[in-house]
A and B are shown apart, each in its own frame.
Chain A
């Protein structure tokens, strides 16, 4: 789970991370209806070919530190964890190295049965020890991994992760035999398996060594569908070359290889799109302002991908202080903003205005319209609510945003509409993403541009971090005991149907009644790829191209 800075011009973007693309889990229908991946075609193509993918210089491709979109895009090709996710709308995990897995009654202990015959690229077997090795290597304090927190529910994480570490092993993880992995949790979580989809939970071979092993950092030996081209390693600022792993234990990819071509992190969206138009790469992200052109040029050829993603863009209100500690003020803010006009005028209709907090790819958890009238533009009612909430004309409001993600048009439009419709005075406070997060953390804002996405396919990744009292990601300081109770309860529900009901109630309370935060747009992703040469490409739940399903035409 994480806040998104959504960089268009800038360094390491914080976008989605997590493991494994579509069809890894043996699913033979990449075009799962409704959500997850879109644009994927079931057409059978020829095997072979090297697909060229542009990325920014990754921070890391070693699973211990797979913390941003660029590196994860590589890591997930190299490693396959216990479970995989193929984008199915039931949000069900599919087998990875584990063939079967189940929790105990209160979901505090999970047992994974690993398949036989799975091997690393160097031939070493992938057994329970390989997972324990990988998890311990990432979680130990000296690794200073920034994604180790995905394992924090496991017993023994705290002493292992301490600085300096007071333990060298994960006390909660054991393997009665090489094919069985038993994981004890500090508290029950019936969706723990979903969190293991993150690359940080990958197995590593015995040669991996400690996290700071530079050899492994630049040439990780994994167990995934692809492996580093023999004899090569990550050529920094140049390329990473992968070839198909012919010994892969799940369905093998058709491509002979993937060539990740590395662009400078600065301005890479522009760069990769231009490189695509020049035929230098087979796939590209699109700078938002070029969406319209890209659609006009590439949609007729079938080269344009539109994909509903799980992320949500919203306005974070500072609920800890006046005026936005009053729900009516939040509602006034929300209703004074014309989402549709901004979408049409500024973004040529390429955004999708939100009517709920939990987004469409969450399948049965998605409740369109739960935001109700609050998410509809109604300046008169907004003015009325504002007056009642003390949001009087002349009130000065500080709008915080990160100025390295291309959000300038959006925040200026908000400013204009709020000033016009409510008579307030909005002061723009744009700083780089990290500094922006600190301002949020300190409460140094009235409202802020914000975005959120999750690393695992569960609405829990949305509701718990952002709505629970005291959660460190709850920057708006929303607090409602009723919601807290429901949040704790849904963690230990074994039945999806029951959980669905509770999640629905949570969203009805927190959004439909309290408007704890103001949803603005769902996250819709657009991509282009060379459809004259390739078929079967879509985007997975984590906004990554489904390179495992691509084949030559």
Chain B
């Protein structure tokens, strides 16, 4: 039986109307915001699926996703005005309804292009009560909740990479809460998702990126 906190019942403080369709959507957007890593965003394309597509307008799901992309938190009154906010920052926003059927009814894909031309996309699901899961980044299957500091590393699937990464974390006394690895095919592109109790220092991220053969890209959430 799950141990509830009193603040699971009284809370969260949030912009309405729905914890799954509004607060959860903001949180999916916030993950995209962190993946942009402070770079100025030029274009945001939001694709809403299932119940998000059917009732998203009335729940403000589109504005909520966009608010998160802009770094606005779920309890910030500006969630409602995210379209204006995006316009004032010169960000082009496109909103689409996805017609491909998804496994989860509350699914959204966010595609972002930054000013430097870097492009990425992620897909997240809102699983209820404002909780979310990111299930795909740039076509690679992943799974994390955004509740913990998270490092996502893309690498070539060769033996030894995982232990080299965890060695560097161990040196900094970073405790790993959850760790998962994913790959498209044997010895091809792979991805590891590491959720830690404390954020990973920049110096360690730099070491992982430069010292370990096979690591291609790292991002943190």
Asked if A and B bind, the verdict is no
- Chain B positions near chain A (C-beta within 8 angstroms): none
